[in-house]
Structure 1
Amino acid sequence: MKKEQKPGAHDPLQLLNIWRSYQLKRWKKERRKRLKPGRPTISNQLPQFKEQRSAKTKWRLAVLLVVFTVGTVISLYFMSPSSDIQQLAVSGTKSVPDQQVINASQISLGDNVLWQLMHQKETKQRIQTKLPKIKQVNIKVVQYNQINLSVSEYQTVGYLVREKQYYPILENGQILKTKMTQSLGSSPVYSGFKNDTYLKQGLKLYRDFPKSIQSAVSEIRLTAGNNNPYQIHLYMNDGNEVIGDLRTLATKIKYYPVLVKQMKGKGQLDLEVGAYSKSFETSK
């Protein structure tokens, strides 16, 4: 005898069919959504992927071609006679002759431009060693096969007098071996300095002077009088003289313009210990 189902009970087979029907409808609905026009799919995205990949490949090939072409042109240039130096020039010199700079560089027409660029450090050292007045050197290539040596010079800050010969003193403290019969320009003359230590102090003293006083000094002489090895004597362009101490004159020289105005005529200012003046006429 078949058992009668209770009211509200469901057949398991019927429930399974309902679930399968629901899942089938759901799958068809999602499939229709995926196949809607304009919705990206693997099949309709494939041509786009191919185009992008092709564009990237073309770009890479173009870059490689440009690099290869440029490298080939540069290589051919440096292997050809066109890369040989055809002209050599010097700029920036003031007192050093251009030909001396060229000779010191040891660069010759016909030398390879690339070789000179690779060894420019050695070239700079040669120039500065043979010409101490050269402060800086820059090697530039102009129009592919021309070399320009752009230099700057140390400023001459004074002249050291020894045995009636004048030796230029550079701003870096170096004394050139070039002998001169007289000083040039407005740089002061340093005399009586037989010791390099005192000379360095004298150079520093002058650097510490105000610009207006620097232009007024004609000669700085180490006199070492009154049992003071640091005593110096300044000869001014206006005809006056100043006595002072290497160690203290830098702070006292600022009173020079005021003291000169108080003097009657040309005279001597003594700033070694105190600060007083006397005219040349009175001392006669």
Structure 2
Amino acid sequence: MAEKKVVSIEDRIPQLKQLRKRKANRRFFTYLTLIILLILVIVYLQSPLSHISNIEVQNNRVISDDEVVELSGLSTNQSFWSINRDEVISSVESHQEISDVTMKRSWYNKVTLQVNEFTRVGYVKTSNLFNPILENGQVLKDTELKVPKGDAPVLHGFSNEDKLLTRLTQQLANLDSAVVSLISEVYSDPTETNQDRIRLYTTDGQEVIASIHNFEEKMSLYPSIASQVAPDLEGVLYIDVGAYFKPYDTSDEVEIEAESQEN
């Protein structure tokens, strides 16, 4: 049987001291590292390095970058870590032409605001100024333009409180944007039998008679209807009831096929 080795207490004391010293050193360096990191964090947060470095605005068409940034309340003098996302979004969405906004933060200290605007579907002329109308039917009474931007038709003969204007706006909002872009002007042109009647002029030179109650349905067929009119003919295209063309120089009516054409 092997004899068990006995280590005296005198031999073990130096080893215990060395072990305790190593543990103390590790603890010291751990605390020192934490203190240094804490100091660096405090210095960083108090320095310009923690400020927003760039604010980018995307998707906006009508509202300027500067206006969106001003609405957000953000600035490059502000700490990147003090941003309140909910407050920023709420502030930007308070603008009547903005439907919603998304805020993204990315390294290095960059903030991106992705803005979705309500589409302008028309400009109603009041006196010599023009008020934009949004797809949600809201007339921007505080926005008065001397010249409309050309991104939507000009509406004549309607008042801001006109129910016909509200109905027409809804029809324009539902209509394909490619078709809306063909309309340059719309005039209220009621008759005794049809208070909904409107007269419009298109960018391809057509004068068109239509009705508000079925405007979206009829105008969606306009490209195929207009293509059946000879380019050299001048007259009025009626799409309020059925579809026919009446030249200016004759009382004859040319009936037109109003069925949609599938590709």
| Coarse TM-score class (shorter-chain normalised) | 0.5 to 0.7
Does residue 106 of structure 1 match 2:106? no
Quote the residue 1:121 is aligned against.
Answer: 86
Structure having the higher helix fraction is 1
Give distance in 2, aligned partners of 1:262 and 1:86. 59
1:217 alignment partner, one of 176, 183, 187: 183
Q: In 2 relative to 1, CA 144–214 (structure 1 residues): closer, same or farther, beyond 3 Å?
A: closer
Partner of 2:147: 182
Is structure 2 residue 97 aligned with structure 1 residue 143? no
CA RMSD of aligned residues (A): 3.4
One-letter identity of the residue aligned with 2:165: L
Q: After the TM superposition, which residues 1-284 of structure 1 pair with which residues of structure 2 at under 5 Å, given as runs? A: 76=42, 79-81=45-47, 84-92=50-58, 93-116=60-83, 119-129=84-94, 131-176=95-140, 177-194=142-159, 195-209=161-175, 213-253=179-219, 254=221, 257-258=224-225, 261-262=228-229, 265-282=233-250
The 3-state SS of whatever aligns with 2:228 is helix
Tell me by how many angstroms 1:268 deviates: 0.8
Residue 259 of structure 1: how far off its partner (Å): 6.2
Percent sequence identity is 26
- Cα pair distance change 1:174/1:226, threshold 3 Å: same
Please, what TM-score do these two structures have when normalized by structure 1? Answer: 0.61
Change (3 A) 1:80 1:269: same
8 Å Cα contact 1:83/1:114 also seen in 2: no
How far apart are residue 165 of structure 1 and its match?
A: 1.2
CA contact (8 A) 1:85 1:146 kept: no
Distance across 1 between alignment mates of 2:48 and 2:177:
52
Whether the 8 Å CA contact 2:52–2:75 is kept in 1: the answer is no
Q: Which segment is superposed worse, 100-109 or 144-153?
A: 144-153
TM-score (norm 2): 0.65
Q: What is the identity, as a one-letter code, of the residue corresponding to 1:166?
A: F
* Alignment deviations for residues 254-276 of structure 1 (CA, whole Å, 9 cap, x no partner): 26744663566111123334543
> 1:80, 1:179 → 2: CA distance?
45
Contact 1:90 1:151 in 2 (8 A): no
Distance 1:105 1:211 in 2: 30
Q: Specify every segment of 5 or more residues in structure 1 that has no aligned partner in the other structure, as ranges.
A: 1-67
Q: Distance in 1 between matches of 2:162 and 2:173?
A: 17
Amino acid paired to 2:172: Y
